[in-house]
Amino acid sequence: MSADIIDGKAFAAGLRGRVAALVGPFRDQAGRAPGLAVVLVGEDPASQVYVRSKHKATVEAGMESFEHRLPADATQDQLLALVRQLNEDDRVDGILVQLPLPAPLDEQQVIATIDPDKDVDGFHVVNAGRLAVGQPGYVPCTPLGCLMLLKDRIGDLSGLNAVVIGRSNIVGKPMAQLLLAESCTVTVAHSRTRDLPEVVKRADIVVAAVGRPEMVRGDWIKPGAVVIDVGINRVPGAEPGKTRLVGDVAYDEAAAVASAVTPVPGGVGPMTIAVLLRNTLVAAHRRTGVALAPDAI
Ligand code: GUN
């Protein structure tokens, strides 16, 4: 048996297209495009690549992109002042401060300063709380993207056993909340979990978000399970000096057992920016009161 490949790149392109198609009608009613502000502090090369991709995708969707760059030695007060200015700016529907921040900046204080109703990353405690109690808010982009792929593949998730490996605030915990809200029976496994292979073996849905290359092996997986691999790990390649990307799941082994699996790259990765645009569009509608059909995106 060989699993179907869940094509996150294609799904993300479709989602971006659906978001872009709704920007025009929003602009007609609100008199402006949805706006996303991205703040980059310092020169971290990976962060620069992410911010450039976000800017390009925002513009391609017909939205307004506001980019703010601060030097690596910017003070906490400067950064907080910028966030407060963006909170007050009515053209800005979404605010994203690219993480990680250079030391000694305090990420938690920065996130806490973002207006929760502009927190399209879903990192503010108010949005974590809204997710936990089932109120409308903003959900972190990566786990929401994983949920979209799962629902597209499976349909109704109710009653399924889901195992989330990893308990980060950005992926593991919100993923578990989302699956619980879909009436899955959810287990959150982590570095202290006993007999992880046995735990994973019970899962109809496996979401791996641990950041350890190819940790989840094929013989851990229940035949027919759906496997979502959030990991992006750079490891030495076949040729000296070359590297390659692998996930947290041993892909070939998992593909021999699962019914469907996300590849790395091309699985979960492309979903993150597409969901960021979706969250920004939703924020623009909520903030202006322009109606958005519940199942529009
Ligand atoms: N750094 C890497 N991924 C992300 C993300 O999704 N949001 C923010 N703010 N920073 C990141």
Check residue 129 and give its pLDDT: 98
Q: What's the domain count of the chain? A: 2
CA angle 178, 37, 147 (to 5 degrees): 15
Chosen domain end from 49, 80, 115: 115
85 is catalytic: no
Same domain, 174 and 208: yes
Check residue 53 and give its pLDDT: 97
Q: What is the mean pLDDT of each run of 10 residues along the chain (297 residues)?
A: 93 98 98 98 96 98 98 98 98 98 98 98 98 98 98 98 98 98 98 97 98 98 98 95 96 98 98 98 98 89
CATH number of the domain where residue 102 is located: 3.40.50.10860
204 is catalytic: no
283 in a domain, yes or no? no
Residue 149 alpha carbon to ligand 1 centre in Å: 20
Check residue 295 and give its pLDDT: 86
Same domain, 110 and 178: no
Same domain, 146 and 263: yes
Residue 262 alpha carbon to ligand 1 centre in Å: 20
Same domain, 102 and 167: no
Write out the residue range of the structural domain in which residue 222 sits.
141-270
Same domain, 240 and 189: yes
219 in a domain, yes or no? yes
- At position 15, the amino acid (one-letter code) is L
Same domain, 109 and 155: no
User: Could you give the count of Cα atoms lying within 13 Å of 136 in the half-sphere of its Cβ?
Assistant: 8
Q: Is 279 in the pocket of ligand 1 (CB under 6 A)?
A: no
Check residue 32 and give its pLDDT: 98
Q: How far is CA 16 from CA 203, 206, 243, in A?
A: 30, 26, 30
Residue 187 alpha carbon to ligand 1 centre in Å: 25
Cα distance between residue 40 and residue 54, in whole Å: 11
Q: What are the structure tokens assigned to 157, written together?
A: 């998730």
What is the number of other CB atoms lying within 10 angstroms of the CB of residue 100?
Answer: 12
Same domain, 153 and 245: yes
Cα distance between residue 203 and residue 163, in whole Å: 6
Q: Which of 93, 118, 119, 121 is catalytic?
A: 121
Question: Smallest Cα–Cα separation from 180: which of 204, 162, 193?
Answer: 162
135 in a domain, yes or no? no
Q: At 161, give phi and psi (nearest 5°).
A: -85, 120
Q: Is 98 in the pocket of ligand 1 (CB under 6 A)?
A: yes
Dihedral over alpha carbons 58, 47, 283, 268 (to 10 degrees): 80
Distance of CA 122 to the CA centre of its chain: 9
Q: Is 99 in the pocket of ligand 1 (CB under 6 A)?
A: yes
Check residue 1 and give its pLDDT: 62
Q: Is 38 in the pocket of ligand 1 (CB under 6 A)?
A: no
- At position 37, the amino acid (one-letter code) is A
121 is catalytic: yes
Same domain, 171 and 262: yes
Q: Is 111 in the pocket of ligand 1 (CB under 6 A)?
A: no
CATH number of the domain where residue 219 is located: 3.40.50.720
